[in-house]
Amino acid sequence: MDFFGMGMGEILLILLVALIIWGPGRITEVGRTLGKVARTLKKATFDLTTQITKETEEQEKKLPPQENKGD
């Protein structure tokens, strides 16, 4: 299993350190917050990609077709 270039051992180590730092009560809150951040980032990335694609297609429609000269 490969998650962001990390193996299972590294992920378990990170989870263990997080458990020690924040404790079992707060670890769910931290995980929930990280999930919300990841979801917001994914949505923003999708919206940006959609906007760029839309503008690129509009720009291509405005340009006259290029003719192949000199082949």
Q: Is the pLDDT of residue 69 over 80?
A: no
Average pLDDT of span 1-18: 80
What is the distance between the alpha carbons of residues 4 and 34, in angstroms, rounded to a whole number?
Answer: 15
pLDDT in tens, 48-66: 999 999 999 988 888 776 6
Q: What are phi and psi of 6, to 5 degrees?
A: -115, 145
Average pLDDT of span 3-24: 84
Q: Which residue has the tokens 């180590």?
A: 13
What is the distance between the alpha carbons of residues 4 and 60, in angstroms, rounded to a whole number?
Answer: 36
Domain segments of the chain: what residues? Answer: 24-59
